[in-house]
Amino acid sequence: MTASVVLALGSNLGDRAAHLQQGLTMLCGNGLACRSVSAIYQTAPVGGPEQDDYYNAVLLADTSLPAMDILDRCRAAEDAEGRVRTVRWGPRTLDVDVISYDDEISTDAALTLPHPRAAERAFVLVPWLEVAPDACLPGVGPVAGLPAADSSGIRRLSSPRLTLPPRGSSATPPGRDDTRRGSATSQPSGRAR
């Protein structure tokens, strides 16, 4: 069985667009067929300490992997980009949330589906509507009808743009030692970690 997955990506430290692109590259492939990615949206932080604005995007994908495997992949991508979890809702190099996994509804403490605050977050809903105008949040309803889907507090950026890896390519699974870090064949990222 193939499930549709909605992932939200965000970054507000370092080269925000590069962190989003690298996260996207690490997520796609190896059982996660990425279909579409939104433009990047600049948004003010929600909650937490004073911090810089975020770059946010939404990724749509199909998979036969279990939802927990997708969550593990999201966490591995965050870790690979240097995410440090010290302050709730604090600044981060990369944040990847599983917003929905097909029509699954779950209150599991490890992975609540759909994401418990998705219906309240314009930085998730507006980019999601860009790539899926008829989107529905399981157990809630059409995304377009949610009050938080108002785009007045966020700004769509015309550049930089995120790009999906070519279909059929498969990224090295996140968390694996690979050539992204420090080998003679890796490309310098130009980012502070």
Any idea which residues carry the catalytic annotation?
83, 92, 95, 97
CA gap 146, 141 in Å, rounded? 8
Closest CA to 5 of 101, 94, 76, 71: 101
Q: Residue 145: which of 123, 117, 116, 125 has the closest Cα?
A: 125
